[in-house]
């Protein structure tokens, strides 16, 4: 795609402008909002790269709403996104993993979009140099909402844009604006621009990899146990080979690999975490939307993730996501054992 000597680069900004041009009713507001998110991702990327050199690793001493130790980079990344989104002038309110309450935008900066984000997902891995990422989702403010929180207590299928940025061996931003299309961009550090490198990403319907924290096996329900066993011990009479296990423990990296290579990523409900661990608004919904738009599926086991209505802004949901046929197999096990 990006050939040496190529001078006609498809940057993320150009891509979003092109999407805007294809929609005659578009006002350009979403384009500006995505620019702000893009800036936030570049800023966090630069901090993650330098973290070990400028004393940004380690805990900050505070505990967040999830009861987790906040890392210095968690707090910094949160501030970066809150400031960038505020300054865009297009946001009405935000929900961040790191902030207990809804974040309001006031005055002349107030816009019509609701943004949810996990500024630095997988941050418990950061000191070991493992991939981390930012996850984001964009919704429209509900005009008739009686409280600002009501705009977030809507079915996930109302999400209009979702994406993640992975800070790894390269910096990759993957985004969907719907229309059954997901595209991936790689940051060219010398240009400071995200360049389209993964055009129209599609998840293989049936993969060969499963990705789950197997240390939780004793807490799983029967459906999850039986399904994972079926991947490890396929019927000897069939031609099937066992799936390979891959679990990074950083959702962005595990989902990125799942979109590229296929297979299943899961964080199920269990007896320790009755709704699973991952948060619906800024982990479950954006990833489920991306995966569906790439031709895959996302389920709690019992229902489509995008049909959930969160009961509060930091609600959690169980999730199995991956290729369509892989997730249909998950659903079969849940029908049989639950
Ligand atoms: P975080 O948002 O506090 O970083 O937690 C979310 C992360 C995900 O990235 C990952 O999939 C999961 O937690 C790993 O959890 P576990 O260590 O229980 O397997
Ligand atoms: Mg996080």
> Mean pLDDT over residues 63-91, rounded?
86
User: How far does residue 264's CA lie from ligand 1's centre (Å)?
Assistant: 16
Q: How confident is the model at residue 61 (pLDDT cuts 50, 70, 90)?
A: low
Q: What is the pLDDT of residue 24?
A: 80
More confident residue, 152 or 63: 152
Q: Which residue has the tokens 């000897």?
A: 236
Long-range contacts from 78-84, C-beta under 8 angstroms, 24+ separation: 78/119, 78/120, 80/40, 80/43, 80/44, 80/47, 80/119, 81/37, 81/40, 81/44, 81/117, 81/119, 81/134, 84/36, 84/37, 84/39, 84/40, 84/43
Max distance between CA atoms of the chain, in angstroms, equals 67
| Bridge partners of residue 274, in order along the sequence | 276
Order of strands across the sheet that contains 183-188: 103-104, 91-96, 110-121, 132-140, 161-167, 171-176, 183-188, 193-198
Give the DSSP letter string of 62-122: EE-TTSPEEEHHHHHHHHHHHHHHHHHT-EEEEEETT-SSPEE--GGGEEEEEEEEEEEET
Average pLDDT rounded to a whole number, residues 182-196:
97
ipTM score of complex: 0.97
Could you tell me how many residues make up the chain? 338
How many CB atoms are closer than 10 A to CB 50? Answer: 11
Tell me if 256 CB under 6 Å of ligand 1. no
pLDDT at position 161 is 97
Contact 104, 93 (CB under 8 A): yes
User: Residues of the chain with pLDDT > 70: what percent?
Assistant: 93
Q: Output the CA 1–ligand 1 centroid distance in Å.
A: 33
30 and 161 in contact (C-beta within 8 Å)? yes
**pLDDT for 3-27, tens place per residue?**
556 788 899 999 999 988 888 888 8
Please give the pLDDT value at position 286: 98
What are the structural domains of the chain? 12-201 (3.30.540.10), 209-336 (3.40.190.80)
Q: Is the CB of 234 under 6 A from ligand 1?
A: no
Indicate the burial class of 133 (C-beta count within 10 angstroms; 0-12, 13-18, 19 or more): buried
Between the two ends of the chain, the Cα-to-Cα distance in Å is 46
pLDDT surpassing 60 at residue 329: yes
**pLDDT for 126 beyond 90:** no
d(CA 251, CA 130): 11
The best mutation among 267, 270, 286, 288 to test binding of ligand 1, ranked by most ligand atoms within 8 Å of the C-beta, falls on 267
Pocket flag, ligand 1, residue 277 (CB < 6 Å): yes
Give the tens place of pLDDT for each residue, 274-310.
999 999 999 999 999 999 999 999 999 999 999 999 9
What's the rounded Cα separation, in Å, for the pair 215 and 320?
17
Exposed, middle or buried by CB within 10 Å (0-12, 13-18, 19+), for 118?
Answer: buried
Q: Which two tokens stand for residue 93?
A: 């309110």
Q: Does the global pTM surpass 0.90?
A: yes
- For ligand 1, atom 16, the nearest C-alpha belongs to 249
Query: Residue 59 pLDDT more than 90?
Result: no
Which residues are within 8 A (CB) of 106 and not within 5 positions of it... i.e. 6 or more apart?
none
Distance 143 CA to ligand 2 centre (A): 30
Tell me how crowded residue 180 is: count the other CB atoms within 10 A of its CB: 11
Ligand 1 neighbour 68 (Cβ under 6 A):
yes
pLDDT of the residue at 1: 47
**Which tokens sit at 220?**
């799983």
Ligand 1 closest atom vs CA 133: 9
Cβ proximity of 288 and 233 under 8 Å: no
| Per-residue pLDDT, 272 | 96
241: how many CB neighbours lie within 10 A of its CB?
8
213 lines ligand 1 (CB under 6 A): yes
Pick from 137, 136, 131: which is nearest to 119 by CA? 136
Is the model's pLDDT at 327 over the cut of 50?
yes
Report whether pLDDT(87) > 90: yes
CA-nearest residue for atom 11, ligand 1, is 251
* Higher pLDDT among residues 197 and 8, named by residue: 197
| In the chain, % of residues over pLDDT 90 | 81
Mean pLDDT of the chain: 93
What are the C-alpha distances in Å from 92 to residues 36, 104, 311? 14, 7, 20
């Amino acid at each position: 795609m990006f050939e040496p000597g190529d001078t006609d680069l498809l940057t993320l900004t150009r891509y979003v402008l092109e999407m805007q041009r294809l929609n005659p009713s578009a006002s350009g507001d979403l384009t500006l909002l995505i620019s702000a998110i893009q800036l936030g991702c570049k800023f966090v990327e630069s901090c993650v790269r330098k973290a070990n050199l400028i004393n940004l690793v380690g805990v900050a001493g505070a505990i967040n709403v999830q009861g987790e130790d906040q890392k210095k980079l968690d707090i910094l990344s949160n501030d970066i996104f809150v400031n960038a989104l505020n300054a865009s002038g297009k946001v009405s309110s935000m929900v961040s993993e790191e902030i207990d309450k809804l974040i309001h935008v006031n005055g002349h900066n107030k816009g019509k979009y609701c943004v949810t984000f996990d500024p630095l997902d997988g941050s418990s891995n950061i000191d070991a140099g493992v991939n981390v990422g930012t996850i984001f989702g964009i919704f429209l403010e509900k005009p008739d909402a009686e409280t600002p929180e009501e705009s977030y207590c809507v079915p996930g299928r109302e999400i209009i844009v979702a994406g993640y940025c992975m800070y790894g061996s390269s910096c990759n931003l993957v985004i969907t604006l719907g229309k059954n299309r997901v595209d991936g961009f790689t940051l060219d550090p010398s240009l400071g621009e995200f360049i389209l490198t993964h055009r129209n990403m599609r998840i293989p319907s049936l993969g060969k990899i499963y990705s789950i924290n197997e240390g939780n096996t004793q807490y799983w329900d029967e459906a999850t146990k039986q399904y994972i066993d079926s991947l490890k011990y396929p019927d000897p009479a069939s031609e099937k080979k066992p799936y390979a296990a891959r679990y990074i423990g950083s959702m962005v990296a595990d989902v990125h690999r799942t979109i590229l290579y296929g297979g299943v990523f899961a964080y199920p409900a269990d007896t320790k975490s009755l709704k699973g661990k991952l948060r619906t608004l800024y982990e479950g919904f954006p990833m489920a939307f991306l995966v569906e738009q790439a031709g895959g599926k996302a389920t709690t086991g019992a229902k489509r993730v995008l049909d959930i209505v969160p009961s509060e802004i930091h609600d959690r949901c169980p999730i199995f996501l991956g290729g369509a046929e892989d997730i249909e197999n998950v659903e079969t096990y849940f029908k049989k054992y639950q």
